Structure 1
């Protein structure tokens, strides 16, 4: 297959397809004349907040195409808003002429919607109760009734589930194994629903992940809401309970878009990506419209220059469903194609209103060698421009995860999601201490008013800097000769995507 596909222009194992966009959009003008080798200074000089904001206006208008089906703007996979986003990305890149090979990579993705849910324990409705992502509905999408029954240990083995669980609602402590495993084992034991309670302070909102026929309707609740019921059950008292979930879990097909420079050494590629989809709840102009449009603008401006090493841009679909697009892409790479990717840079949420300049703390000790060198490139940029930065966990929350799991160095920058800005960070970056970095994270208000233009422009110039640096040379950057996977137990990570999985 590899030898047959080379003549078609291979992009990481994907044949470069020339599929006409359904609605071509106006492109930014290109300069004519001979192309000189890209430089960081020149490429950064082409990046302006005005262009980014103009693109954001286009993206919001595309999200509005989801209104008929969802009653509000959205770019969730499968929606008209997301399909239009894919058209916009594709038509923009194709409109740059013969600079890039472009590929559309279709793959199956699981999509879930919870339309309504309710949990009653005893005579109370826990305020923290949330239906898990990708939960199935209760039977016939009707309320189910049963005794709340405590599961032993943390519910990761069949032996933890008592025989009296049939027809009951399982109460399970968080920990050790994924939520999906707990729901599956509860279903196998005959439970009509499951409730996972937090073993840390705070509410618990997560996803069941890959669907199983044994999954049952599953909720997450906080440790404080669960505590009195855990105590009552340990004392042998009965707790009558009701669970109700109206939800759907479907498999659809969606599309990654990959664009690679025709020029440059194809054996040494610098790769960067962001995700093209939003959550159902809103238009996603910051998450991840900011990353999507930064890549689009950098790709547009890069086309004015020549490169020594190939540059590969990726717009992933179904990130919000659990990194499905990037997972699929890496899973079908041959070892030969894997090794051509010298590093992967993730750009997800670059313009949060209450921003901090965040750098993933990707060290070589626990990640593929080269991750730390990339991290240091980011920090050097901030410090050289008199800007503060902070390290954040490299914990699997975005599309870099599949790459580092498969031996490819990775890293990235962000400006913050639902985390709370500290007083120290207020001193470093301004903004409001005690508020989320993005107060509209995963909400309807993630719209045109939800971006900080200054942070967006600075971070977009940093993206341009990383692209130009590695497009010219990988001197001093660790070579890749084999797919070396670290021994760190990545499977124990709490995140695989934006939602908790365990």
Structure 2
């Protein structure tokens, strides 16, 4: 079965790092098209009725086959940026939209990105191997990709200043508390002081899953560690006792090119655009069928069914690359928008993880008090729809974990829905949604098992219908929705947001 072009497949198999598809413009503005008199104005109920679980699963099976293109390089299916699996994903999205004819214009926005791959890692502290130890995203390897030995040296404060690092860290392993500044800054300070590796431990019992961000020549091999695993070591170090360690990371960090794909209706007022997005990439560790294959596919299906209708306001679909590396694609897109183009986007809706197996119907708790005006109105649209269907819902923090973050920081109202990642489902949520208490919402989050068996089709259909409703509502009319201004997110949002994508940055 072929679902990517011969060129894209060739590029994938030869290890090309960027998909060569026609480039219209980084911010191509579609003209107002001629209304198709045979199509009715988009209607929410009618658009929702066209959503089918069978169609979603057909697309999921295609996406999993595409993920297998990554096996040669990574030894398992993956759609991480720079991989053949991601190149195939971009080709599939592009050709799906292309087949819809003149209803959409398509733009391919190429941008530089950083891709990291950890092949092996191990951290030994004293005579034990902490279970929570995990390499930071975009970490470099240990020297010569061999194990390094040293004593753990406790760093003062949060390791955000060079003066926090004692001279004794040279040739040893820096033991640094999470908090305040980016992990990359902590790693840089440790590297400049001569540490052979760094461990960032949590001040809470939970693990630390973070990224070093933009590569620096001073970064060193860096692990994250849960507060629970760190506590015994911390007590010993605070008492002046010696704790030795061994750190090993075999990894690579590469500069690549990758692509966002933007599809915009040729109909509808181009000065009032309803925008929604999902990310096209997975983590290295797996095929990402739920994260975020589910959102990618939901958008493709809604975009396909929307062609049966006319719209009053333009609808702009986006498939972002590099989300898993720290929202790279969406950040690049928003930062590239001239002020005039920024104002044309009336709102942005984020759809990341629509089908978690142990799901809850989650709404980002976006308010106008902390976010650009209109974010709360979008939140309330989701609330009303779930209530109208007789479905329960819950609120989750609007904390920068997905691609809405760049829009909020640049004054564009936003919000979204999700079904849960590595969070623990409560007994109360089992009463609301079913499932299993004490387990993750997605037990295969960021793992190899995020495959075709890792989606709840019931939740997926429900949320794709809600996506259709959100599109139909605002594509038909923005009456009553707040007008745009260029007021950026409040300082409280910036201060309280400690995530940039799925990983902590401080």
> Which TM bucket (shorter chain)?
over 0.9
Superposition deviation, residue 282 in structure 1 = 1.3
- In 2: Cα distance, 1:483 partner to 1:215 partner: 36
Give the unaligned 5+ runs of structure 1.
Answer: 1-7, 17-31
Does the CA-based 8 Å contact 2:172-2:196 persist in structure 1?
yes
> Does the 8 A contact of 1:11 with 1:258 survive in 2?
no
1:427 maps to which residue? 431
Contact 2:134 2:224 in 1 (8 A): yes
Q: Does 1:129 align with 2:133?
A: yes
2:481 aligned with 1:477, yes or no?
A: yes
Which residue of 195, 198, 204 maps to 2:199? 195
Of residues 83, 104, 122, the one that matches 1:118 is 122
Matched, 1:228 2:242: no
Q: Does 1:13 align with 2:17?
A: no
Question: 2:309: which partner in 1?
Answer: 305
Whether 1:76 aligns to 2:80 is yes
Q: CA deviation at 1:10?
A: 7.9
Look up the match of 1:441. Answer: 445
Tell which deviates more after alignment, 391-400 or 183-192: 183-192
Deviations 1:110-148 (A, max 9, x none): 111111112222333223221111111111111222222
TM-score by length of 1: 0.92
Question: 1:479: Cα distance to partner?
Answer: 0.1
CA distance in 2, matches of 1:10, 1:263: 18
2:282 aligned partner: 278
Question: Against the structure 1 CA distance between its residues 248 and 10, is the aligned structure 2 distance closer, same or farther, given a 3 Å change threshold?
Answer: closer
d(CA) in 1 for partners of 2:87, 2:200: 35
Runs (4+) of structure 1 exceeding 6 A deviation are 8-12
Counterpart pick for 1:345 among 349, 374, 377? 349
1:390 alignment partner in structure 2: 394
C-alpha contact 1:110 1:251 (8 A) present in aligned 2: yes
Give, in angstroms, the shift of residue 15 of structure 1.
7.2
Q: Distance in 2 between matches of 1:406 and 1:469?
A: 24
The answer to whether the 8 Å contact 1:11/1:259 transfers is no
Matched-pair contact (CA < 8 Å) for 1:35–1:306: yes
CA deviations over 1:331-371 (Å, ceiling 9, x no partner)? 10011110100000000111111111110000111111100
Alignment of 1:272-421 (within 5 A): 272-421=276-425
* Equivalent-residue separation in structure 2 for 1:70 and 1:228 (angstroms): 36
Aligned in 2, Cα 1:224/1:46: closer, same or farther, shift over 3 Å?
closer
Helix, strand or coil: the match of 2:102?
coil
The separation in 2 between residues aligned to 1:324 and 1:134, in whole angstroms, is 13
Q: Write out aligned runs for 1:102-117 (5 A).
A: 102-117=106-121
Counterpart contact for 2:51–2:461, Cα < 8 Å: yes
Answer yes or no: is the 8 Å Cα contact 1:12–1:337 preserved in 2.
no
What is the aligned residue count? 480
2:462 pairs with 1:458: yes
Query: Compared with structure 1, are the counterparts of its residues 9 and 228 closer, same or farther at alpha carbon in structure 2 (3 Å cutoff)?
Result: closer
| Alpha-carbon distance between aligned partners in 1 of 2:114 and 2:476, rounded to the nearest angstrom | 39
Contact 1:173/1:199 (8 A) holds in 2:
yes
Q: Post-superposition shift, 1:230? A: 2.3
Note if contact 1:9-1:101 (Cα within 8 Å) is conserved in structure 2.
no
- Bigger mean CA deviation after superposition, 225-234 or 199-208: 225-234
| Equivalent position of 1:23 in the other structure | none
SS in 2 for 1:266: strand
Q: Over residues 275-334 of structure 1, what are the superposed CA-to-partner deviations in whole Å (9 max), with x where a residue is unaligned?
A: 111111111111111100110011011111111100000000111111111011011001
Matched, 1:144 2:158: no
The equivalent of 1:57 in structure 2 is 61
What is the Cα deviation at residue 389 of structure 1? Answer: 0.4
Counterpart for residue 9 of structure 2: none
Matches within 5 A, 1:150-165: 150-165=154-169
CA distance in 2, matches of 1:406, 1:239: 46
- Residue aligned with 2:176, SS: strand
Distance 1:73 1:48 in 2: 26
Residue of structure 2 equivalent to 1:19? none
- Secondary structure of 1:114's counterpart equals strand
What is the distance in 1 between the residues matched to 2:482 and 2:23?
27
CA contact (8 A) 1:52 1:297 kept: yes
**2: distance between equivalents of 1:214 and 1:492?**
28
| Maintained 8 Å contact 1:335/1:483 | no
Distance 1:192 1:200 in 2: 25
Report the alpha carbon displacement of residue 391 of structure 1 after superposing the two structures with TM. 0.4
Give the TM-score normalised by structure 2.
0.92
Structure 1 residue 80, shift from structure 2 partner: 1.4
